[in-house]
Structure 1
Amino acid sequence: MNWDRIYQIGVVVTDLDEAIAHYAKAGIGPFHEGPSETASDRRVHGVPSDAVVRGACVQLGPIELELLQPVSGDSVQAEVLRDRGEHALHVCAYTDDLDADTAEMAEAGFPVVSEGSLTDGGRFAYFDTRAVGGLILERHELPR
């Protein structure tokens, strides 16, 4: 599996509005609503979750910055915010075959810790690669 289609860095924050204002002072913005709020069929550690996660995105050249604020329910974002505080959470790359990537990552020892569908028909999976550097790798399959 290659990671040459990386397009996004996600950062978990305590207060999304405060984070947007913080980055605006550096000239970054405007942000738009991210796909996190439209996630459905969310599973966290293999268990269905009713988590609500606010998200906002902004394009920084070829990379999208996504800010994520856990609001309620069980989510990886809430878990890592509680355990480590605000920090870079994930790097995300597009994929054409999320199922194949999931099997390959599991074989390599990186299980899915969060997954779900988006209202546009896309799907995503977070893989637990936190053992070194604390960073999660994510794959996003666009709607077919």
Structure 2
Amino acid sequence: MPIFNQLHHVCVLVRDLEEKQKFYESVGIGPWFDYPKSGAYLEFDVPNAAASRAMRYKCCDLENFQIQLCDPGELDSPQKRHLDAHGEGVYQLGFEVPDRNAAEAEGRAMGLEVVARGRKTDESGFCYFDTKAQAGVVLEIRKTPDDQKKFS
């Protein structure tokens, strides 16, 4: 199965989470919840760990995928640099995979450069590939923990 086959989420960079959430709710999109940043990572290779921890997210589960609103905050990160350079809008597409490690290896075998990655003890986690120049967005693969799965 191709690694970019099952869309999990679309991530939109924003400057004001509450303002954007209110707009989405005004057009009937909701409810929203805070992204569950939980559990320790065995591996956490990101450009700026403090910036990653400080990012704030609001999520909304629709019938077939999730919308994520991300306020990257003030610390330096790829998301903050993208927001500053291009303004608010879609930053990444996240795809659910059954095996995070195998999907990362497959992406690398395709010649995709990894810009951030994380793996937890339950083998859930993420991997962001540097695809903005080719795809217009960052492509991410992720394995959602079993207790958080909605889209399978």
Q: Please indicate the TM-score interval, normalised by the length of the shorter structure.
A: 0.7 to 0.9
| Letter in structure 2 aligned against 1:78 | K
Measured after TM superposition, the shift of residue 10 of structure 1 is 0.8
Measured after TM superposition, the shift of residue 31 of structure 1 is 0.4
Measured after TM superposition, the shift of residue 38 of structure 1 is 4.2
State the identity %. 31
In structure 2, what is the equivalent of residue 22 of structure 1? 23
1:66 lines up with 2:68 in the alignment: yes
| TM-score, length-scaled by structure 2 | 0.78
Structure 1 unaligned residues grouped into runs of 5+ = none
In structure 2, what is the equivalent of residue 5 of structure 1? 6
In structure 2, what is the equivalent of residue 50 of structure 1? 50
Q: Is the 8 A contact 1:49 1:73 kept in 2?
A: no
- What is the rounded CA distance, in whole Å, between the counterparts of 2:8 and 2:26 in structure 1? 24
SS at match of 2:76: coil
State the aligned residue count. Answer: 141
Q: Give the structure with the larger strand fraction.
A: 1
Structure 2 unaligned residues grouped into runs of 5+ = 147-152
| TM-score, length-scaled by structure 1 | 0.82
SS at match of 1:132: helix
| Letter in structure 1 aligned against 2:22 | A
Measured after TM superposition, the shift of residue 72 of structure 1 is 4.2
In structure 1, what is the equivalent of residue 150 of structure 2? none
Measured after TM superposition, the shift of residue 98 of structure 1 is 1.7
In structure 2, what is the equivalent of residue 123 of structure 1? 125
In structure 1, what is the equivalent of residue 33 of structure 2? 32
Deviation beyond 6 Å, 4+ runs, structure 1: 118-121
Q: Is the 8 A contact 2:3 2:97 kept in 1?
A: no
Task: Sort the Cα spacing of 1:78 and 1:63 in 2 relative to 1 into closer, same or farther, 3 A.
Answer: same
Q: Give the structure with the larger helix fraction.
A: 2
In structure 1, what is the equivalent of residue 137 of structure 2? 135
